[in-house]
Amino acid sequence: MSATTTIVLGAPWAGRPTCAPAAPSVPMRDLDEAVLIRRCREGREDAYRELVERYQRRVLWVAQSMVGNEQAAEDIAQEAFIRVFRNIRRFDLSRNFYTWLYQIVTNLCIDHLRRYGRKRAADLDAIGPLADGRPSPAERSGREELRARVQAVLDRLPAKYRLVLALRDLQGFSCQEIAEIVGCNHATARWRLHRARQLFKALWNGEPVSVEEEGDPNYLRGEER
């Protein structure tokens, strides 16, 4: 018999002994994403909160640029996180979490656009001429005007182009990452980015351009080339 034998007394359901030394706690914000996901699987709400805090602004960003409405974007973000947490046990940890999250967000955006239609694209003429580089009388109203004009141009673009602009030019994803999120191949992602920038530039500068032949405005998946 060994010199020292440890006997742990107590019922098996008694849980961890209170006298056991506590594991050193790491702040949630410093935890690795995979650890956070494992904790979410254990149902820990602090891990849920941390994941929401990490990703909510980027999720809101892409949703706003897709649906053009802050309230709808918040609703989409909320629903996206709920779906993430309800299905997090099925998430494959070898995959990128953000790819999965963005897939859910983009699907919800497309559902929203199909259900409620696109927010009526604001009439560029009604917003007024572009500031032509001249400073606005009030900086705040200038920002609002710029935002409204950008949103008006985005609203006229088909969803597949809006999405690649939001992911590449606003959030900085690579074309390969965009292809994974959207569910197309790399060449298609590049083509969409190319076409999206062409259309955005033309609409921004008031050039005559038709987006009608680009197909279903709310169509996202599939190959066009």
Partner 1 sequence: MSCAEVRSLLALFVGGDAGADERVAVEGHMAMCPACAAELEEYREALAALRSGLPEPERAPDLADRILVALRARRFAWIPRLAGWSRWAAVFLIGAGLGILAQGLWPGREPAPPDVPVVRVNRVAPGTLWHPQRGVQPAVSGGSPGRRGRPGLIAPAELRVQYLPHAEVLPARSGWTRM
Interface residues for partner 1 in 10-39 (CB under 8 A)?
10-15, 17-19
Does residue 187 touch partner 1 according to CB under 8 A? no
Binding mask 202-221 for partner 1 (x = CB under 8 A): --xx----------------
Stretch that binds partner 1, among 24-32, 99-107, 148-156, 212-220 (CB under 8 A): 148-156
Stretch that binds partner 1, among 9-17, 30-38, 90-98, 104-112 (CB under 8 A): 9-17
Phi and psi, residue 56, nearest 5°: -65, -40
The token pair at 85 is 């947490």
In the complex, what is the shortest distance from the CB of residue 140 to partner 1, in angstroms, rounded to a whole number? 13
Contact residues for 176 (Cβ-Cβ < 8 A; gap 6+): 186, 189
CA distances 22 to 9, 17, 19, Å, are 19, 10, 8
Contact of 35 with 27, CB cutoff 8 Å: no
Binding mask 38-67 for partner 1 (x = CB under 8 A): -------x--xx--xx--xxx-xx--xx--
Distance CA 21, CA 43 (A): 23
Nearer to partner 1, 45 or 216 (CB): 45
Distance CA 18, CA 22 (A): 9
In the complex, what is the shortest distance from the CB of residue 146 to partner 1, in angstroms, rounded to a whole number? 5
